[in-house]
Amino acid sequence: MATRIDRKFAALKAEGRPALVTYFMGGDPDFDTSFKIMKGLPGSGSDIIELGVPFSDPMADGPAIQAAGLRALKKGMSLTRTLEMAARFRETDETTPIVLMGYYNPIYIYGVERFLKDAVRSGIDGLIVVDLPPEMDEELCIPAIKAGINFIRLATPTTDDKRLPKVLQNTSGFVYYVSMNGITGSALPDTSRVAAAVERIKKHTDLPVVVGFGVKTAEQAKVIGSAADGVVVGTAIVNAVANTINPDGSLVADPAEAVATMVQGLSSGVRASRLAAAE
């Protein structure tokens, strides 16, 4: 059965351009502002939304996303409220895929079955759970697939050709290639190596391959976008939010507007990719 994610990639393929995948932290700086950010994303050019679920111990994230998660938790964000945010978004948007991204423990404590039921009901289309490698597929991946939710896996430079089939085995929706070994927010590596890596993964799968980690500017989005089926931007968006917040928590500018401006720029980069690729 084609999911909302499958349909989105099919539509983009027809359009002949890569997807812009935008990550933001649910509940940062607070629920209402964050919801406003989310609602503005499709209009600014985001094709797929990655909704970050805050966790106290984000072991794969750099300082920017760590801080965003803590801000959200301080304001009472939780997995329950993150699902609520998705459900409210769905009330007015039937087409933009939502991928929840986070760590396993909040889901485990919520209860896997109950979580999947509520996720489906909230219009969640996919899951990225950083600390669930294929070795742990029985935990959530298999039940999620049964519930009709895509389980999106990260592939990294350490995932060699021998391991790739295992990583891809139960992956659906798309493959998220993490362009470097490191935490979120690190510098973008050599783009030619990224293209080679995407080619390598595509030899093993027909799924779309999107690339993330380190993309910050429209120009980078354009270059990466010409080599992949999509570009993920996370830390740059999280930083755009952070830059509107004073140390005392008050706002110097509208976070939703700051994110919209940022995403519009990235979107122009991604839309230029088709032309770049055709050149």
Complex with another protein: residue 94 or 160, whichever CB lies closer: 160
Active site (annotated) includes residue 199 = no
Residue 109 C-alpha from the chain's centroid = 22
Give whichever of 73 and 87 is closer to another protein, judged by the CB atom.
73
Binding site for another protein (CB under 8 A): 55-60, 62, 66, 73, 78-80, 103-110, 130-133, 135-136, 153-160, 163, 167, 178, 181-183, 186
Q: Are 204 and 172 in contact (CB under 8 A)?
A: no
The answer to whether 21 touches 8, Cβ cutoff 8 Å, is: no
Q: Which helix (H) or strand (E) holds 231?
A: strand 230-233
Report residue 77: phi and psi, to 5°: -70, 150
Q: Quote the least distance from Cβ 32 to another protein, whole Å.
A: 19
Residues 6+ apart with CB under 8 A from 203: none
Q: Which residue's CB is nearer to another protein, number 9 or number 176?
A: 176
- Is the separation of the CB atoms in 140 and 132 below 8 Å? yes
In the set 28, 47, 61, 137, the catalytic residue is 61
113 catalytic? Reply is no
Shortest CB 52 distance to another protein, Å: 14
Select 54 or 123, whichever has its Cβ closest to another protein. 54
Q: Which lies closer to another protein via its Cβ, residue 41 or residue 132?
A: 132
Q: Please, what is the minimum distance in Å from the beta carbon of residue 248 to another protein?
A: 19
DSSP state for residue 28 in the 8-state scheme: S
Catalytic site residue from 50, 118, 137, 229: 50
- Strands 230-233, 48-52: parallel, antiparallel or unpaired by DSSP? unpaired
What value does the CA radius of gyration of the chain take, rounded to a whole number of Å?
17
Residue 251's alpha-carbon distances to 29, 187, 196, 254, in angstroms, are: 9, 28, 42, 7
252 backbone dihedrals φ, ψ, rounded to 5°: -95, -20
Smallest separation, CB 47 to another protein (Å): 24
Least Cβ distance, residue 254 to another protein (angstroms): 28
Residue 121, token pair as written in the block:
């009901």
The catalytic residue positions are: 50, 61
